[in-house]
Amino acid sequence: MNAAEIKAFLARHGLLARRDLGQNFLVDETLASRLVDLAGVEPGDRVIEIGTGLGVLTGALARSAQRVVTLEVDAGLVRALRADAVLPDNVELVHADALEVDLARYARAGAEPVRLVSNLPYHVSAPLLRRLLDLRGLLIDWSVMLQREVAARLLARPGSRDYGSLSVLHGLTVTLAKGMDLSSNCFFPVPRVESTFVRIAPLETPAVEANELADVERVVRAAFAKRRKTLVNSLRAGALGAEHSAEAIAAALSRCAIEPRARAESLEPAQLLALARELR
């Protein structure tokens, strides 16, 4: 699907690419097939897709998977895709906001192995990535297109400027593999950012318990909220300061063998997990 075909399709249905929804549509069908291969999609799989767009990635998924459930927030696009019968028969198109819908319901709806593959809307990628961590017990894996800077945050190691709460939460729960970088020319309209495709899979033995991640997240986010401050001061600056004195936080650091003047960016995920457990 080239730019002229996209414009004609959108014009026929009285639509425009919506910046407020972060709509930059993947348009290269050959590339879409390669992404499906990188995601490891197999014939017996059921796939959830967030963001149908123009259906280019959806069609590639449908050719490889047994069934695809694709979620699209834009009612106009949903009407257009249905009116032109764009999607194959083994695709279920759902008008829904992935930030609000019960994703677990779609992950549980069937006996087939479930994967998620998505060109995530970049303006809401961080909250969606966090939601997907809560589905880690239901999905084989999830492969997502991200703004390159967000992918760098996921893959970052301690001591780097990209290392933060998103890096830590993923480091405690999943494995990550960079698939490929994509030029902005692979999308329409052409975005001002570059993209990276990342495959994410749950750890066989996660460091956190199934119901523990929210508590750990609270401490980790507080630890990184003031990156230039020491952990004691950063934790005291947020909501945790109302619950723990500076002395109590310092004592927790000592029990975890963490230097009192350490900063969150210097600590491994396991150290921040131990600190979160002490503070809990």
Structural domains of the chain, ranges and CATH numbers in brackets: 3-202 (3.40.50.150), 213-279 (1.10.8.100)
Assess whether pLDDT exceeds 80 at residue 111: no
pLDDT category of residue 226 using cuts at 50, 70 and 90: confident
pLDDT value at position 142? 98
pLDDT tens sequence across 50-61: 999 999 999 999
User: Exposure pattern of 5-43 as b/e (b: 16+ CB <10 Å)?
Assistant: ebeebbeeeeeebeeebbbbbbbbeebbbebbebbebee
Please report where in the chains the tokens 């992950």 appear, as a residue.
107
Q: In terms of Cα–Cα distance, which of 58, 190, 181, 72 is closest to 121?
A: 72
Beta strands in the chain (DSSP E): 25-26, 46-50, 67-72, 91-95, 114-119, 141-147, 174-182, 187-188, 195-202
pLDDT tens sequence across 230-256: 888 898 887 677 788 888 989 999 999
pLDDT category of residue 221 using cuts at 50, 70 and 90: very high
pTM: 0.92
CB of 13 within 8 A of CB of 83? yes
pLDDT tens sequence across 123-166: 899 999 999 999 999 999 999 999 999 999 999 999 999 999 99
* Phi, psi dihedrals of residue 188, rounded to the nearest 5°: -135, 135
